[in-house]
Amino acid sequence: MKLAICHLYPDLLDLYGDRGNILTLAARCRWRGIEPVIQKASLGEDLDFMGMDILFIGGGSDREQGLLVQDLMRRENELRKAIENGLVVLSICGGYQMLGKYYQMTNGERIDGLGILDIWTIAGAKRLIGNVVVELDEKKSSGNSNKFRTMVGFENHSGKTYLGEGISPLGKVLFGHGNNGEDSGEGVRHLNVFGTYLHGPLLPKNPHLADLLLELAIQRRGVDTSLMELDDCLEDLAHKAMVKRLLKQA
């Protein structure tokens, strides 16, 4: 089996080691005998969203966001159709914000988003920085390979994201700030789209989430199979140690 994984704008959106998410997905495919086909696509390049299995969009600055939204607007219909068809999307920080309605900067200027998610972001007066522990919503993170009910990562954002009616967060913040530092929510899941502020990178710290993305991508192909279990002893110990250490500080 092959899985097509697209890293969108890797030259412009790659804060805090975000490309490590692609490396993790690729490695966990290879260890199971699945061939990862990695596409790196930037401004103006042809994209076949329907032909992708997983789309990854990382984080970047406000300036880069404005440029990239303009590029994506040309293909918004195709991306929306692929998402409605079950395309698995992982979007981090700036990539997460771009999928929403708009980003309002400190001067009041708004950068229009794609409007695929009913969310919007407003620049805050201070940055929300630090390690994060999230208690995952079981309905949003269920999967055969999901070992933990928690997610850990690192956030650094001034944008405060709010969710519209009918949209719920990926989980509840136990330590850190999350979407906006006000409502205890972190991230969002809509269909197979996962949005989050967690860098670090995210997936090496949360291999159970990486496997959930792979499972969803395989299921979308109509293949009824479970992923082979991997020896994640070290990864599991690191995850549990981080959760334990941070919750002691809460």
Residues placed in the known binding site for substrate: 127
Residue 93 is among the residues annotated as catalytic for this protein: yes
Task: Look at the alpha carbons of 106, 123, 183, 153 in this order and tell me if their dihedral is positive or negative.
Answer: negative
Task: Find the catalytic residue in 157, 177, 190, 199.
Answer: 199
Give the three-class secondary structure for 52: coil
The beta-strand segments (E) located in the chain are 2-8, 35-41, 54-57, 88-92, 102-104, 110-112, 119-136, 150-163, 171-175, 185-186, 188-190, 193-196
Contacts of 224 by beta carbon, 8 Å cutoff, 6+ apart: none
Residue 199 is among the residues annotated as catalytic for this protein: yes
Task: Find the catalytic residue in 6, 7, 29, 93.
Answer: 93
Distance CA 108, CA 217 (A): 39
Cβ–Cβ < 8 Å for 141, 181: no
Region class of 221: left (phi > 0), else alpha (psi between -120 and 50), else beta: alpha
- Cα–Cα separations (whole angstroms), residue 33 to 1, 189, 209, 228: 8, 28, 19, 10
Residues involved in catalysis: 93, 199
